[in-house]
Amino acid sequence: MASHIVGYPRMGPKRELKFALESFWDGKHTSEDLQKVSSDLRSSIWKQMANAGIKYIPSNTFSYYDQVLDTTAMLGAVPERYSWNGGEIGFDTYFSMARGNASVPAMEMTKWFDTNYHFIVPELSPNIKFSYASRKAVTEYKEAKALGVDTVPVLVGPVTYLLLSKPAKGVEKTFPLLSLLKHILPIYKEVIAELKEAGASWIQFDEPTLVKDLDSHQLKAFTEAYTELETSLSGLNVLIETYFADVPAEAYKTITSLKAISGFGFDLVRGTKTLDVIKSAGFPSGKYLFAGIVDGRNIWANDLASSLSTLQALEGIVGKDKLVVSTSSSLLHTAVDLVNETKLDDEIKSWLAFAAQKVVEVNALAKALAGQKDEAFFSANAAAQASRKSSPRVTNPQVQKAAAALKGSDHRRATNVSARLDAQQKKLNLPLLPTTTIGSFPQTIELRRVRREYKASKISEEDYVKTIKEEINKVVKIQEEFDIDVLVHGEPERNDMVEYFGEQLSGFAFTVNGWVQSYGSRCVKPPIIYGDVSRPKAMTVFWSSVAQSMTSRPMKGMLTGPVTILNWSFVRNDQPRSETCYQIALSIKQEVEDLEAAGINVIQIDEAALREGLPLRKSEEAFYLDWAVHSFRITNCGVKDTTQIHTHMCYSNFNDIIHSIIDMDADVITIENSRSDEKLLSVFREGVKYGAGIGPGVYDIHSPRIPSAEEIADRVKKMLAVLEINVLWVNPDCGLKTRKYAEVKPALTNMVAAAKQLRAELANGK
């Protein structure tokens, strides 16, 4: 019985690629150094899977930034502003598209489906000239083959690539991107020909857009694409891989009718209804079913007995020799290896499986189907499953009772937002176009060292508190010097906005090396929510009070919202996500009320990930938005009218959920805008009325580029064309922790200068 892995984490068990990338960007390492680190990581991954007994091992899933940008490079689809002159795309052009450079901004970045992983959005136009400009897929296949590992090269499918793209600037928004299909397929044919020549016997096309609600025209594109590629694919085995949700019946019918395709990969963890489709519609004779039964998105050990039962049922439908055991998606979304976790207690550790363990689970299930069941392995797994179900540390009756009592109220503030803003302005006395930042300031090497040493008990609490207070004071003075109106304390005590809160809430566990890639070199370490959540004590009140005591200006209390904590954690799978979210909301509510009692008049509750969790199918969106928005309202429903509640969102497409954002009933929302070509503003041009305060980001903090005051002023003027001046705020797109002070200081200086210039112009009636 065969086994397959959809994809694997790239960063390395100790984030080796992250550090190599950052050293390269800083000029400390050469391109050869970067390539050596990446080659060593790939070799290690391929050998690990081969040694574990995996038959279908993926290649070309490694990336220096993301797989969609890799496809853009493969197709030579470089926007004109990067002045690429053809030929093989090098690091300069590649990273300029991803990060921008001193002259031009980066391409838009957005979330990969409903994950916290990001991709660079392709910008396409009717007259774009595609060319084969990156041979990465072929190079990596040959690299693995030289090691004695025959891999399955993975390509982002041509239809998914186009459906994830956007019209380039200046192109009509109605431009049909699928009309470019006939122009990119010749490049795919070249890639396929080179892979065949190199000896590839399988190719995997990732087409995850198949799980979305596609119309007949979009579904027809899949038929057209793979019919056109049929001759080129002759002699190869071809896998179409889908993930993250059920494949709708019409999409299932479309792809299983394709003659050129040998196998189909389905997510059977998040797509449980796909099993019903397979049973009712049947499965094409002679084709392979790659059954995604091991969860690629979460870190819980697989229930092997249950999975084996499901696989045996499928075996009866598709045939013993045509069933392949697989992961539900790429393991990119999980931590790398549980072996590296030395501080998790044994009980919780027994409940978990990271990427390396999931590879073992896949192979164990494949061997069990083939009659070679490892009884000891299955027995240990069953014991761990039983331990988790019965452990007293998972359940807290008081928390469950409090969460249940939330039902029956919508938890809205008593006064409407217009009246609240009036009351807040009387108290805060802010100017027109008030300036603020999103929360974090640069996290220096020294600051990270202090936090690390404090956690390791190498410095005293007294020394730690002294250092953090000094850092807060520095950040406060910088903001006062720049004349920013509403300040932040810079979050020097926090390594991560979710991890920091999870460490102080019950029901959470933490890893040492459970890093997951978010984009580029950016990694996060998601907490593990294993049980009912509660707040034993105040989490931020001390630091917010310290910061407020250093200034007469309003100081924001900085919190992460319940939906974002949920979506950026590895969440327990033994109860509905909504129940866990309500529990977190109650904890944040307690913190909000303690901040208010401590004299903090502006409190920001970040919901950066609210849009990210939106289901991929329209029929499921309303239920999610109902409990997600309700959870946010729970956090602040009890504060006074004079307490100003902010929230923040970033790097997603918000236009389709704008009415839910309004329903959150925050006083002020700051929201990513600049990197997405001000897409957000279009919703207001179309007539949506937004009465609360709003700060669409005026510059992209994920690029080292420093915008001029004139550029920022022009951007604010565009906002004023669709938003009332009395509700508009001026702020960056996101927090500043990933930037250097050499970039932050001039950018914020220019931001404040732009706001002051516009205030002066408005005062003079211009």
Q: Determine if residue 637 is labeled as part of a ligand binding site.
A: no
DSSP 355-392: HHHHHHHHHHHHHHHTT---HHHHHHHHHHHHHHHH-T
**Residue 684 confidence (pLDDT):** 73
**Residue 679 confidence (pLDDT):** 65
| Crossing angle of helices 541-548 and 577-597, rounded to 10° | 40
Report the share of the chain in percent with pLDDT over 90. Answer: 86
Q: Determine if residue 449 is labeled as part of a ligand binding site.
A: no
**Residue 766 confidence (pLDDT):** 64
pLDDT tier at 653 (50, 70, 90 boundaries)? low
Q: Determine if residue 606 is labeled as part of a ligand binding site.
A: yes
Q: Determine if residue 522 is labeled as part of a ligand binding site.
A: yes
**Residue 408 confidence (pLDDT):** 79
pLDDT above 80 (res 687): no
Catalytic residue among 4, 29, 646, 702: 702
Judge whether 654 and 611 are in contact, CB under 8 Å.
yes
Which H helix or E strand runs over 154? strand 151-156
- Summarize pLDDT for 344-367 with one digit per residue, the tens: 999 999 999 999 999 999 999 999
Query: Cα-flanking dihedrals φ and ψ of residue 399, to 5°?
Result: -65, -45
Residues comprising the chain, all counted: 766
State which amino acid sits at residue 90. Answer: G
Q: Determine if residue 491 is labeled as part of a ligand binding site.
A: yes
Q: Determine if residue 700 is labeled as part of a ligand binding site.
A: no
Judge whether 119 and 110 are in contact, CB under 8 Å.
yes
How many other β-carbons are positioned within 10 Å of the β-carbon of residue 4? 27
Of 516 and 700, the structure prediction assigns the larger pLDDT to 516
Name residues whose C-beta falls within 8 Å of residue 734's C-beta, 6 or more positions apart in sequence: 438, 608, 648, 650, 651, 672, 697, 701, 702
pLDDT above 60 (res 651): no
pLDDT above 80 (res 758): yes
Asked about 702 being catalytic, the answer comes back as yes
**Residue 681 confidence (pLDDT):** 75
443, with CB counted inside 10 A (0-12, 13-18, 19+), is buried
State which amino acid sits at residue 662. Answer: I
Which H helix or E strand runs over 645? strand 644-649
pLDDT tier at 234 (50, 70, 90 boundaries)? very high
pLDDT above 80 (res 127): yes
- Summarize pLDDT for 707-755 with one digit per residue, the tens: 999 999 999 999 998 888 999 999 999 899 989 999 999 999 999 999 9
Of 281 and 261, the structure prediction assigns the larger pLDDT to 261
pLDDT above 60 (res 665): yes
End-to-end, the C-alpha distance of the chain in Å comes to 74
Max avg pLDDT among 102-106, 107-111, 610-614, 638-642: 638-642
- Summarize pLDDT for 526-550 with one digit per residue, the tens: 999 999 999 999 999 999 999 999 9
pLDDT tier at 657 (50, 70, 90 boundaries)? confident
Q: Determine if residue 438 is labeled as part of a ligand binding site.
A: yes
Query: Cα-flanking dihedrals φ and ψ of residue 57, to 5°?
Result: -100, 125
DSSP collapsed to 3 states, 486-525: EECCECCCCCCCCHHHHCCCEEEECCCCCCEEEECCEEEC
496: left (phi over 0), alpha (psi -120 to 50) or beta: beta
* Residue matched to tokens 């977190």: 584
- Summarize pLDDT for 73-116 with one digit per residue, the tens: 999 999 999 999 999 999 999 999 999 998 898 999 988 999 99
Q: Determine if residue 633 is labeled as part of a ligand binding site.
A: no
pLDDT tier at 764 (50, 70, 90 boundaries)? confident
**Residue 497 confidence (pLDDT):** 81
Q: Determine if residue 213 is labeled as part of a ligand binding site.
A: no
Of 496 and 614, the structure prediction assigns the larger pLDDT to 614
What one-character DSSP code corresponds to residue 440? B
Q: What is the mean pLDDT of residues 647-676?
A: 84
pLDDT above 70 (res 553): yes
Query: Cα-flanking dihedrals φ and ψ of residue 604, to 5°?
Result: -100, 125
- Report the chain's mean pLDDT, rounded to a whole number: 94
- Summarize pLDDT for 139-168 with one digit per residue, the tens: 999 999 999 999 999 999 999 999 999 999
pLDDT above 60 (res 313): yes
- Summarize pLDDT for 465-479 with one digit per residue, the tens: 999 999 999 999 999
